[in-house]
Amino acid sequence: MKNPWTTLSKRPIYKNAWIDVSEHQVINPSGKPGIYGKVSFLNKAIGIIPVDQDLHTWLVGQYRYTLDEYSWEIPMGGGLLEEDILENAKRELKEETGLMAARWTEIMRIHTSNSVTDEEGFVFLAEDLTLGATDFDETEQLEVWKLPLREAIQLVMDGKITDAISIAGLLKVGKLLDI
């Protein structure tokens, strides 16, 4: 489909280690001029749903500064754009839960909030698990919770898990594993 937007100009507004914010002067699909803000992420979002032979999974809890609230989520993090997505997923799972997996399946590609950002995410199912030690980043104060996958999916259904990647990934794994 042809792009109905015309970009007249763009300028950088702000950049840090994680995001690049720009302002775009545009002609919108109705032909009128406007301003569009765009947040470009400098990493890929990577989520992992570890599932053991008894259909248990692990969630990670942490206080999210941007939300000003505590959040339970699947293990996830950012993978550098130029690095292999699967290798980043393996690193994130090990860092946040101490788990290593022998079998990996990419189950989805997701855009997190495509009206304001170009962030691209990937979710993996990790199986054949081995437990080791965690290695949290300095910005992380995490709590790790092992629970039945069915209960994690119920937390989504009850509105207790609100992170978009976690919701999408858990519901898809539930469907794939017929839970």
**Pick from 53, 79, 87, 72: which is nearest to 169 by CA?**
72
pLDDT at position 138, please?
74
Q: Is the pLDDT of residue 144 over 80?
A: yes
The one-letter code for the residue type at 171 is L
Q: Which ranges in the chain belong to alpha helices (H)?
A: 85-97, 149-157, 164-176
pLDDT at position 122, please?
98
Locus of tokens 């292999």: 84
The residues, any chain, with a CB within 8 Å of residue 125's CB and separated by 6 or more, are: 48, 49, 51, 104, 105, 107, 173, 176
Residues 127, 102: contact at Cβ < 8 Å? Answer: yes
CA atoms of 107 and 125, how far apart (whole Å): 7
Q: Is the pLDDT of residue 40 over 80?
A: yes
pLDDT in tens, 42-87: 999 999 999 999 999 999 999 999 999 999 999 999 998 889 999 9
Report helix angle 164-176 to 149-157, nearest 10.
130
pLDDT at position 14, please?
97
Q: Is the pLDDT of residue 114 over 90?
A: yes
pLDDT at position 126, please?
98
pLDDT at position 152, please?
98
pLDDT in tens, 83-112: 999 999 999 999 999 999 999 999 999 999
Q: Is the pLDDT of residue 6 over 90?
A: yes
Of the pLDDT bands very low, low, confident and very high (cuts 50, 70, 90), residue 135 is: confident
Mean pLDDT of all residues in the chain?
A: 95
pLDDT at position 108, please?
98
* Rounded percentage of the chain residues whose pLDDT exceeds 90: 91
Between 141 and 57, the more confident residue is 57
CA atoms of 30 and 33, how far apart (whole Å): 9
